[in-house]
Structure 1
Amino acid sequence: MTQQNIALVTGATKGIGREIARQFGGLGWTVLVAGRDLGRAETVVKELAEDGVDAAAIRVEVTDEASIAQAAAWIERTYGRLDVLVNNAAIIADGDGPVSEVPVDSLRAGFETNVFGLVATTQAMLPLLRRAEAARIVNLSSELASLSRVGDPESPMSTVLTTGYNTSKAAVNMVTVMLANELRSSGILVNAADPGNCATDMGGWDAPRTPAQGAAVVVRLATLPDDGPTGELHAEDGRLPW
């Protein structure tokens, strides 16, 4: 892959998303910093520019298909293609909790952003990705989406009772596998990344991993060689079980 890749990162105004953008910039790439709030995205772009990163701000609200379509049209007019899509935008919805207690509306909100928004964004960007020589799609997932890990009573994952988040990320894993199968003949590699529990608004500021560590997993999957894996879930130490 060339040093002039164009990468779109959703949810890039803070946390892991912002760090992914910074690390892509360090590779010499053009980074499209996407967020719900254009002003916040522009602030991040200014900060990245101070480090020499070629970045542009773009508004992408993944639950608003008009916003996604406008972003895709702007990318097409401005760059003509997209080399890397990182579907990072995600939430833990208010009220998320155990299956016996979680409000159904909380489940809906989680799936709206984490699954439906991811699929809508990917669909809109695919025509641009197909124009690249070796495009990559990385979907942010979690070890909490691993049925093997959550189903093991000895695993700490079994004690995390965020039903909406866990199930929506498990759905992201299935979307990842199905899209990888669909695109196998195209040369586009599609994988899911588990950044681990990082010190962010979502992970909590006492989490053991840094955003930089979490972002590194994503960057590795975004820079895979042509014979790299597709349709897999990876963490820092390698492939995770489904």
Structure 2
Amino acid sequence: MLLGARDADRGRRAAAELGARFVQIDVTDDASVAAAAADVASAEGRIDVLINNAGITGGAASAEELTGAEAALVLDTNAAGVVRVTTAFLPLLRASGAPAVVNVTSGLGSVALTRDPERIESKVIAPAYAASKAAVTMLTTQYAKAFGDVRFNAVDPGYTATDLNGRTGTQTVTEGTDAIVTLATEGPDAGTGRIIDRYGPLTW
């Protein structure tokens, strides 16, 4: 098992706790992504499942105060980062017998959920983050159509208590990773181009 992180100290600690090998990677930096792929190619030679989980919310500016630079940073990390990592790791995925990519999206990127007054997503205003996660979902479905030899699926972990939200989430990390684990461990015939949460398929 491999664990990638931008922060080397935190990444190594997390990898040690999980019994994983740490690989340093900054998804906003082409050279860092290429170096990470080369590291894995040299050490493991392939990967079976790639989980694109890097994400930031951006600053606390209101929608009225949001700048292009702030939005670009969020989109670069959350959406373009998926593109960089996926492209760099495709050869390693194709060396696997049943390769799969799991992209971590969010209900905040769903038109249906953000317009449903019964859902918490409808109460949140986060233009850059929501747009970036909508992009992640669309990248997933586009990749699923483009690559017949690699499964691409997306997962909404739900409102999970992590550093991303200051630990205010209502789910535990275990609950928030249920659907990620499902997609990462399911069989090769499970399907591609899907979006799920821990309760099942999502409508977008």
1:82 aligns with 2:41: no
2:81 corresponds to which of 107, 117, 131: 117
User: Shift of the alpha carbon at 1:141?
Assistant: 0.4
Question: Do the aligned residues in 2 keep the contact of 1:107 with 1:164 (CA within 8 Å)?
Answer: yes
CA distance in 2, matches of 1:96, 1:217: 31
The residue that corresponds to 1:207 in the other structure is: 169
1:86–1:140 CA contact under 8 A, matched in 2? yes
Q: Percent identity over the alignment?
A: 38
Unaligned runs of at least 5 residues, structure 2? none
Query: Match for residue 99 of structure 2?
Result: 135
Return the letter of the residue paired with 2:156.
Answer: D
Query: Could you say which residue in structure 1 is the equivalent of 2:182?
Result: 220
1:107 and 1:122 map into 2 onto residues whose CA distance is 22
Distance in 2 (alpha carbons) for counterparts of 1:154 and 1:196: 15
CA distance in 2, matches of 1:127, 1:189: 14
Counterpart residue number, 1:23: none
Aligned pairs (5 A) from 1:174-189: 174-184=138-148, 186=149, 188-189=150-151
- TM-score normalised by structure 2 residue count: 0.95
Q: Do structure 1's residue 95 and structure 2's residue 60 form an aligned pair?
A: yes
TM-score, length of structure 1 as denominator length: 0.81
* Number of residue pairs matched by the alignment: 204
Distance 1:155 1:46 in 2: 37
CA contact (8 A) 1:180 1:230 kept: yes
Hey, what's the Cα distance between the residues in 2 that align with 1:171 and 1:96? 21
Alignment deviations for residues 71-115 of structure 1 (CA, whole Å, 9 cap, x no partner): 1011111111111100001000113543x3322221111001001
Partner of 2:164, secondary structure, is: coil
Q: How big is the shift at 1:59?
A: 0.5
Q: Identify the residue that residue 197 of structure 1 maps to in structure 2.
A: 159
